[in-house]
Amino acid sequence: MPKDGKTTIVRTGEGHTARITRSGDGTVRVEQHGKDHAALAIQSDDGSVLDIAQSGESASANVTQVGGCNSSRLTQSGNGNSATVVQRGSGNSTVVRQGNSDD
């Protein structure tokens, strides 16, 4: 992990899986473009920020955040996408946007 507490993953194509486990505060950004992508993110402790952007079709994202004051943003464009967000603790926030690539 970089010393600044930020992790960025960018993928283009088909069938990628990103599994991110992070303990401690910091920012994780995942971009996946294409189809049949999956993202699984687990963050623990307080003050984590997660940003997942998936474009294409048949993408899935599963997010678990444990601790307080965590925030997640999940944006999916395309058809047949799914998202699950689980947050435990207090002061957590999440934004999920899903839509067709034609929107």
For residue 48, being part of any structural domain is answered with yes
Number of domains present in the structure of the chain: 1
Residue 72: HSE in the Cβ half-sphere, 13 Å Cα cutoff: 28
The residue written with tokens 């402790």 in the block is 45
For residue 103, being part of any structural domain is answered with no
Instruction: Give the domain range for residue 44.
Output: 7-81
For residue 2, being part of any structural domain is answered with no
Q: What pLDDT is recorded for position 2?
A: 44
- What pTM did the predictor assign? 0.79
Phi, then psi, of 89 in degrees rounded to 5? 120, -165
pLDDT digits (tens, 9 = 90+) for 28-84: 888 899 999 898 888 787 788 889 999 999 999 998 888 888 889 999 999 999 999
For residue 54, being part of any structural domain is answered with yes
